[in-house]
Amino acid sequence: MSEPLLVIEDLHAYYGTAHVVEGASLTMGAEPVALIGRNGMGKSTLCKALSGTLGVNGRTTGSVRLDGADIQGKAAHKIAKAGVGYVPQGRRLFQSLTVDEHLQIVGASSKAAWTPKRVYELFPRLAERKHVSGTSLSGGEQEMLSIGRALLTNPKLLIMDEPSEGLAPTVVETLIETIKDLAAAGMGLLVVEQNLGVATALADRVVVMVSGSIATETTSGQLLSDPEQQKRYLGVEPLAEAA
Ligand SMILES: Nc1ncnc2c1ncn2[C@@H]1O[C@H](COP(=O)(O)OP(=O)(O)OP(=O)(O)O)[C@@H](O)[C@H]1O
């Protein structure tokens, strides 16, 4: 039997003395998983811990395996090389770099599955804005660039932190279709989403983070049909049409 795509066991993450992820465990295959939870529960910190981007004060313990390879506590570039693509919350682009420079600095091999050319085919809008500074793009274009940059590392697993944040509904719809296509082509997807509509459109399996660990899980169908669950897990008022 082959190993599951991602196995997280008793993962802890700290910023200095702040203990934020407190024993998170999750096993997932290539099927998309949405990670939800109220504000401050540690979702972004878990994403950072998995991608090696906690920063200078960050520290992790526990076990994280990607396709059987130990990636816990490794440097970000090694984790990327092992097959984790990370699209951070807020996109993290550079004002001093153009769209094209953002893609070129990844240093993707011209023989790799994902090249800048293929990213431009996926997002023609980026091709039109090739020479524009990363931070001059619209929110949707910035998200495309952040995704494109992550794809250039040819990930087996794409971790996305709040991809729909701050985007107009029509832009979100297009984005959902693109992300679904990537997942349908076999890329694993772990997506943090506070937007219930987006989370449930992207994944059937929904895991819930409470106080630094994965407390429970549900399905999109159950979540959408149960306003109580929505309130409990997300701390938001239920979707009007879900009642
Ligand atoms: N760099 C940091 N240093 C110290 N504490 C931090 C740091 N970043 C986040 N935290 C704390 O860790 C906790 C979890 O934050 P995190 O951003 O992971 O939660 P979240 O579930 O993603 O929340 P949100 O939905 O609001 O983004 C919060 O109490 C936050 O204040």
Pseudo-torsion of CA 175, 181, 186, 192, nearest 10°? 20
For residue 126, the CA-to-ligand 1 centroid distance in Å is 31
CATH assignment of 6-242, among 3.30.300.20, 3.20.20.70, 3.30.360.10, 3.40.50.300 = 3.40.50.300
Which residue ranges in the chain fall short of pLDDT 50?
241-243
Is any ligand 1 atom within 6 A of the Cβ of residue 42? yes
pLDDT tens digits along 43-84: 999 999 999 999 999 999 999 999 999 999 999 999 999 999
Which atom of ligand 1 is closest in space to residue 45's alpha carbon? Answer: 18
Overall size of the chain counted in residues: 243
Dihedrals phi, psi of 158, to nearest 5 degrees: -105, 125
Dihedrals phi, psi of 159, to nearest 5 degrees: -105, 120
For residue 18, the CA-to-ligand 1 centroid distance in Å is 10
How far is Cα 215 from Cα 237, in angstroms, rounded to an integer? 21
As given in the structure block, the two tokens for residue 172 are: 């979100």
Dihedrals phi, psi of 115, to nearest 5 degrees: -125, 165
Give the residue from 55, 63, 86 showing the smallest Cα distance to 190. Answer: 86
Residue closest via CA to ligand 1's atom 16 equals 42
Pocket of ligand 1, candidates 17, 43, 198: which has the most ligand atoms within 8 Å of its Cβ, to mutate?
A: 43
What local confidence, expressed as pLDDT, does residue 243 receive? 41
Helix (H, G, I), strand (E, B) or coil at 183: helix
* Host H or E run for residue 58: strand 58-66
How far is Cα 118 from Cα 97, in angstroms, rounded to an integer? 20
Is any ligand 1 atom within 6 A of the Cβ of residue 39? yes
Dihedrals phi, psi of 143, to nearest 5 degrees: -65, -40
| Cα 219 versus chain centre, distance | 18
For residue 44, the CA-to-ligand 1 centroid distance in Å is 7
Q: What is the ipTM of this complex?
A: 0.95
pLDDT tens digits along 102-122: 998 887 777 788 999 999 999
- What is the residue extent of each domain of the chain? 6-242
Dihedrals phi, psi of 65, to nearest 5 degrees: -125, 135
Max intra-chain CA distance, the chain: 51
How far is Cα 125 from Cα 118, in angstroms, rounded to an integer? 13
What local confidence, expressed as pLDDT, does residue 154 receive? 93
